[in-house]
Amino acid sequence: MYGKFLVEGDKSVRELLHSAFKIDAIYGLSDWVERHHTQAVELHAVSPAELAELSTHEQPDEVVAVAHIPVQEPSSLSPAGLYIACDRLNDPGNAGTIIRIADWFGASAVIFSENSVDVYNPKVVSAAKGSLFRMPVIYADLATLLADNKDLPVIGTYMDGESIYSTRLPASGILLIGNEANGIGEELLALVSKRISIPAFGKAESLNAGVATGILMSEWRRQLS
């Protein structure tokens, strides 16, 4: 409603300070405020009790900040880009982890379907560990976006797909991650260029979406190196 979100903890707030995000205000313990004095942002020293009231964490980490949610630019994808797209991703931890993975492996952006989790949810912000402030995030109608960018191959993740270790991946494209419980929606099936999977060597039924994304991006980067 207000177009703002909460950033919590020393590391995340320090990353925020070095980003292009507009900061409304920062509320920190006196020691933190003294160590990070800046004229560019409004800093407020608060007591531990006041910090606990502001924070969503049971054990607040020195500081919280209020930042502005950036206005999303038109969704223009580069034909040479490496993208991660998430279809109806619900879990905040997975969303934050995937944003962090995208940052680690140098993805061009992370694309979320319009019915995915809000990436400015405090749990997502926390799980992203500062990567949210560096990694472009796009919300879009995935069917429309994929159809409008046919020059980018779509690599879909399926339980019955070809092994990632025997598949030759393209130089650019979109890695499509499905919903945690139901996978990739049927309306996107016709837009998938290649179906891949991570082969199982043990007896686990499935992998966490964030873990799977890390494995897949690691292999993609390995093949391109």
CATH code, domain with 197:
3.40.1280.10
61 and 96 inside one domain: no
Question: For residue 138, which of 218, 221, 75, 204 has the smallest C-alpha distance?
Answer: 75
Residues 86 and 171 in one domain: yes
Q: Are residues 142 and 210 in the same domain?
A: yes
Average pLDDT value for residue range 28-37: 90
Interval 103-116: pLDDT, tens: 999 999 999 999 99
Same domain assignment for residues 60 and 91: no
Whether 57 and 151 share a structural domain? no
Same structural domain for residues 19 and 91? no
Could you say which of 68, 97, 124 is where a domain stops? 68
Cα dihedral 94/130/21/9 (nearest 10): 110
Range of the domain at 17: 4-68
| Residue 81 three-state SS | coil
pLDDT the model gives residue 64? 96
Round to whole Å and give the CA distance between 144 and 126. Answer: 30
Closest CA to 177 of 158, 191, 160: 158
User: Considering its fold, how many domains does the chain have in total?
Assistant: 2
Does pLDDT of 41 surpass 80?
Answer: yes
